[in-house]
Amino acid sequence: MNTRSSRLHVLQNQPDILRTLRRGIEKEGLRVDTSAHLSLRPHPVALGSALTNEHITTDYSESLLELITGTHHDVASLMDELQSIHIFTAQGIDSETMWNQSMPALLPNEADIPIAWYGKSNVGMMKHIYRRGLAERYGKRMQCIAGIHYNFSLPDTLWPLLGFDGLDLQEQRSTGYLALIRNFTRYSWLLMYLFGASPVVSSSFLKGHNLPLEKVAPDSYTLPWATSLRMSDLGYQNKEAQAELQLCYNDLDTFLMRMLHATRTPWPDYERIGTHRNGEWIQLNTNILQIENEYYSNIRPKRTTQSGERPSAALAQRGVEYVEVRCLDIDPYAPLGISEQSCHFLDTFLLFCTLESSDEFPNNGFCQHSKNNFAQVVREGRKPGLILNTPEHGSISLKDWGQKLLEDMEPYADLLDQHLQSGHAHREALHAQKHKLLDPDNTPSAQLLRDLSGSGLSFLDFTLQQSQAHRQHLLDTALCPKRQAAYEQAATDSLTLQENIEAAQANQSFEDYLSSFETNS
C-alpha cells in the first residue's frame, strides 16, 4: 500500500484514536472607541493582569487584546469557551468595541500607539522591552494587524502507528509534525484563497506604501484580486534580516540550529540602533531575532515552555508537542472571528497534511515554489485563470489544484466525522469550500468587497458597524452565573499573582534576569 492508503487503513482500524485530537484558538482584536479610533486606555482592570491571566492578555499593543482558549477534543466545546471569553471581555471593556477585522482601525501617530505593559517584574519588563524592539525594527503600525492562531495536536498513541522515523515516541512525533508543516507550506495558499478576509485597508494606514492599490470606497483601498492584504507585502511580513533566515523543516535539529544562530548573531542595522537610548532599554539585543517568537512564519512547531525556558530549548529537550497555524485572517462575519465550519475544515486540512506523503524540501530545506504560490494568492488569488507552480507538476491553475486537494481531503473528512461522531460536519465544511473554487465571488474577500461597496461606507465605518453589532450580540448573551464568577475570580487572582511575581523578582536586576534567560538554551 502507498503512504496514504496505509495510514488511512491504520485509522480506519482505530475507531477511537482521533477522539483525543486537540485544538485551541488565540484570537487577537484591537480595542477601539465609538468612532473607530484605537483605544489609548490601559488594559482594563476588570480583565485581570495581561501578564498572568491565562485567557485574556495583550499582544503587541496595550490596546491589542488576545483571547486564549484551552485545548478541546471537539469543536463545539472549543467555540463555547471562545464565546464565553468574548462575552466576559465585552463586559469588561465598557463602551469600547473589539475590532473584528485583521486590518487596523484608525491609528494615532506612530509615537502614540501604546506598547503593551506587563508590570515591573523582570518577566513583565522582558515582554515589554521585546515589544519596544519590534517597534524599532518594524514600526508600530504593522504590529496592530490582527489574526487568528489555530493550535492543533494529534494524540501520542497515533504517532507510532503511522511509520514516521524515530527511535522513540518523541522523535516520531517531531518527525510527524515537521512532515505536517512541510505539507502545510506546500498547500497553505489554499487557506488564503478560501479564508482570506482582509482585501481592503483604510487610506489612513497607507503611509509609506507604494502598492498599486485601487480605491473601492471612501478612504478605502484594495489590490484588484487580493484575498489577504494582512499576509501581503503591505502587512506584517519579514524585513531584510528575517528574509535571509531560511529555517529548515526537514529535521528538528537543523531547524533548531538555524533558530539558535538567528538568536545569537548580531545584525548590523540593529547594532546601529543599540539596546539603550537615554538610559532606557529599547530592545533585548541586537541579534537577527531578539527571541524565537520574533520569526513570523505561517506555522510554527511548538512545545509548552517552563518558567524562564526558551522555546528552542523546550523543543530540543522534549520535541514538538503541537503546531500553531498563524496565517488565518479574522472572519469579519463571525462574532468570534472564526466559525465552527472553518474549524472543521482546518481539522480536516491539518489531518490531511499530517498523513499525506511529505517529501523533504530540496535546496537546503527551502521551498521557493511554495513561497511564491502563497504570495501570489494573497495578492491576486481571485484573478481569473490564476496559474500556480509546483515542482512535481509544473504550472497548474489555482482552481484545478484546489479541487484536487479538496477531493484528496474527502477520506480524512469522513474519518473525522466517523471518529468524532460529528454527523457530516467535516464533509459539509469541505463541500462548502468547493463553491468558492467554482466561483471566486463566493470567497469571503469578494463578499467583503461587495458588501463594502454596496454599503456606501468607508472601510472604517463599515467595520465599526459590523464590530458593534457583534459586540451587542455578545452582550445580549448572558454567561451562566458559575462561569461568570469563575472568570471574575480568575481576573482577580491574576492581579494578585502579578503582584507576587513582582515581589519575588524585586531583588534581581533585569540585566541578570536577561543574561540568565539568554544562556538557557
The answer to the question of residue 386 being in a domain is: no
Distance CA 475, CA 251 (A): 47
The answer to the question of residue 240 being in a domain is: yes
The answer to the question of residue 125 being in a domain is: yes
CB 462 within 8 A of CB 453: no
Give pLDDT tens digits along the chain (521 positions).
467 888 888 888 887 899 999 999 999 999 999 999 999 999 999 999 999 999 999 999 999 999 999 999 999 999 999 999 999 999 999 999 999 999 999 999 999 999 999 999 999 999 999 999 999 999 999 999 999 999 999 999 999 999 999 999 999 999 999 999 999 999 999 999 999 999 999 988 987 676 789 999 999 999 999 999 999 988 655 567 776 677 889 999 999 999 999 999 999 999 999 999 999 999 999 999 999 999 989 999 999 998 888 999 999 999 999 999 999 999 999 999 999 999 999 999 999 999 999 999 987 777 888 999 999 999 999 999 999 998 877 899 999 999 999 999 999 999 999 988 889 999 999 999 999 999 999 999 999 999 999 999 999 999 999 999 999 999 999 999 999 999 999 999 999 999 999 999 999 999 999 999 888 76
Distance CA 351, CA 187 (A): 13
Distance CA 314, CA 171 (A): 14
361: containing domain: 18-380+442-519
Task: Dig out the grid coordinates for 168 from the structure.
Answer: 522513540
3-state percent helix, strand, coil for the chain, nearest multiple of 5: 50, 15, 35
The answer to the question of residue 393 being in a domain is: no
Residue-wise burial string across 80-89, b where 16 or more C-beta atoms lie within 10 A, e elsewhere: ebbbbbbbbb
Instruction: Return phi, psi of residue 202, to 5°.
Output: -70, 145
Cross-strand partners of 28: 66
The answer to the question of residue 5 being in a domain is: no
The answer to the question of residue 11 being in a domain is: no
Say which CATH number the domain at 238 has.
3.30.590.20
The answer to the question of residue 413 being in a domain is: no
The answer to the question of residue 402 being in a domain is: no
Count of structural domains within the chain: 1
Distance CA 378, CA 371 (A): 11
**Local structure of residue 116 (DSSP, 8 states):** P
Total residue count of the chain as it appears in this document: 521
Which residue, among 371, 407, 405, has the nearest Cα to 389 in the 3D structure?
A: 371
Instruction: Read off the pTM.
Output: 0.96
